[in-house]
């Protein structure tokens, strides 16, 4: 298109446009200096919107400065572009705006879902998985991972998201290896790290962004997103999303840590470190149901220190506390990983033995009795303990019947001289129940002392 001034100015506009590329070539008329030459400026973009915006501006300027040329210029523009530029511009801007609003809405929804999960649940594993899924989908990445360091909860926790078209068999192994390297790098420099088209890293075939999870100045984990398009450039709002989610996850990690501490305090005996009676009431019922479901035995041992009152009265309560701690350590050291020691109250301990029959429980109980017998408390001397055991389903099928059977067996050990292991007698259901104020620790007759 050529627009010529009556005098000497010559303006030229050349438009190149298709579905994927658009460019506008515009000339600048020379000044009065004869040495000045008319020069061309090019406005171009891979999206036509900028060119159409420039045309709108030029049409408005021509109308204002050269009214006589406005109509021919507008006709030339329409002839060069099959559709009206205003329609092109409106559609382009509207479509882009709609896409931006949709992306923003999806990201806000992802953040809200993560926040809701954190508010409504103390399940850290579930929260981390929700965060990985939501961020991965919102940013349309190949994979996303959230990792929490192991020093907070005893073991490292990693949750991952992979795009639907990714083969998990090979991608997971490769991704975990890369995650280890990135984790070490973040541990050295705990700051946001970005690798993309604007921030390349060697010949990396990926673009990724990593945000550390920082709590009270310490690194507690990281959030990582990765795409298989190395030319991708992370937008500011995408990096802001990652920072926002990282802040939320830091809160979730701290909440989970506090809950774990409170749970530990609520279910653990402070003196011995064993689980307490509250935990026993919850766990034993679950273990019993599992034993019933898989048709496996389950044994219960009740252990009671002999002459504990004499330790407190003769050597002092500090020695009594030491005796309980030494006893608890000895019991835990001689159990399997699946077995559990509980301080039931006072000097009485309970041991749960999943998948242990009577014969196996007797071996464990005798080993415990023998180890307790080797414990020496300063100012008092060696300890001893009486033990009673019961087994599901031989001696009962409910919590109460098994506890009663083990209690009767312990009663027998006390009556028969202490420092021994007993099983329930055949008539244990008709025997009297030990009362809290019973004096079973009265000195036994010498001829009744026996050991299994």
Nearest residue to 347 (alpha-carbon basis) of 376, 377, 381, 384: 384
Of 347, 400, 407, 441, the catalytic one is 347
What string of DSSP letters covers 5-16? -SSS-EEEEEEE
Separation CA 222–CA 220 (nearest Å): 7
Q: What is the DSSP string of 296-354?
A: --EEEEEEEETTHHHHHHHH-HHHHHHHHHHHHHHHHHTS-TT-EEEEEETTEEEEEEE
Tally helices (H) and strands (E) across the chain.
12, 16
Report how far apart, in Å, the C-alpha atoms of 225 and of each of 135, 163, 173, 247 are. Answer: 8, 11, 16, 16
H/E/C letters for each residue in 238-270? HHHHHHHHHHHHHHHHHHHHHHHHHHHHHHECC
Q: Does residue 2 have an active-site annotation? A: no
Would you tell me how many other CB atoms lie within 10 Å of the CB of residue 378?
10
Q: Which residues are catalytic?
A: 347
């Amino acid at each position: 298109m050529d627009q010529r001034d009556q005098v000497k100015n010559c303006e030229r506009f050349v438009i190149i446009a298709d579905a994927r590329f658009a460019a506008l070539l515009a000339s600048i008329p020379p000044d009065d200096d004869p040495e000045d030459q008319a020069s061309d400026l090019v406005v171009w973009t891979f999206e036509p919107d900028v060119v159409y915006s420039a045309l709108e501006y030029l049409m408005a300027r021509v109308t204002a400065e050269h009214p006589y040329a406005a109509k021919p210029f507008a006709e030339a523009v329409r002839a060069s572009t099959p559709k009206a530029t205003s329609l092109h511009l409106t559609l382009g801007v509207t479509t882009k705006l709609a896409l931006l609003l949709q992306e923003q809405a999806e990201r806000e929804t992802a953040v809200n879902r993560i926040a809701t999960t954190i508010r409504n649940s103390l399940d850290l594993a579930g929260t981390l998985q929700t965060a990985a899924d939501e961020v991965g989908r919102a940013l349309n990445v190949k994979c996303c991972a959230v990792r929490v360091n192991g020093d907070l909860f005893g073991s490292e926790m990693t949750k991952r998201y992979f795009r639907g078209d990714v083969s998990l068999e090979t991608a997971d192994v490769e991704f975990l290896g890369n995650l280890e390297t990135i984790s070490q790098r973040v541990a050295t420099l705990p700051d946001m790290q970005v690798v993309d088209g604007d921030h390349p890293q060697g010949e990396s075939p990926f673009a990724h962004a990593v945000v550390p999870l920082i709590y009270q100045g310490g690194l507690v984990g990281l959030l990582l997103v990765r795409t298989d398009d190395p030319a991708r450039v992370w937008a500011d709002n995408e990096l802001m999303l990652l920072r926002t989610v990282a802040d939320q996850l830091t809160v979730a990690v701290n909440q989970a840590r506090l809950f774990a501490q409170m749970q530990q305090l609520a279910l653990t005996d402070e003196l011995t470190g064993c689980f307490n009676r509250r935990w026993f009431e919850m766990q034993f019922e679950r273990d019993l149901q599992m034993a019933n479901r898989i048709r496996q035995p389950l044994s219960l041992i009740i252990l009671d220190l002999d002459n504990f009152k004499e330790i407190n009265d003769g050597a002092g309560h500090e020695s009594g506390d030491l005796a309980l701690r030494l006893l608890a350590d000895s019991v835990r050291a001689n159990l399997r990983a699946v077995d559990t020691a509980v301080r039931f109250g006072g000097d009485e301990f309970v041991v749960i033995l999943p998948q242990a029959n009577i014969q196996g429980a007797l071996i464990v109980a005798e080993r415990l009795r023998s180890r307790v017998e080797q414990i020496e408390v300063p100012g008092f001397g060696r300890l001893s303990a009486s033990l009673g055991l019961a087994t599901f389903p031989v001696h009962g099928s409910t919590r109460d019947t098994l506890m009663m059977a083990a209690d009767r067996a312990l009663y027998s050990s006390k009556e028969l001289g202490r420092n021994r292991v007993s099983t329930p007698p055949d008539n244990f259901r008709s025997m009297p129940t030990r009362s809290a104020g019973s004096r079973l620790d009265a000195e036994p007759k010498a001829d009744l002392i026996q050991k299994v």
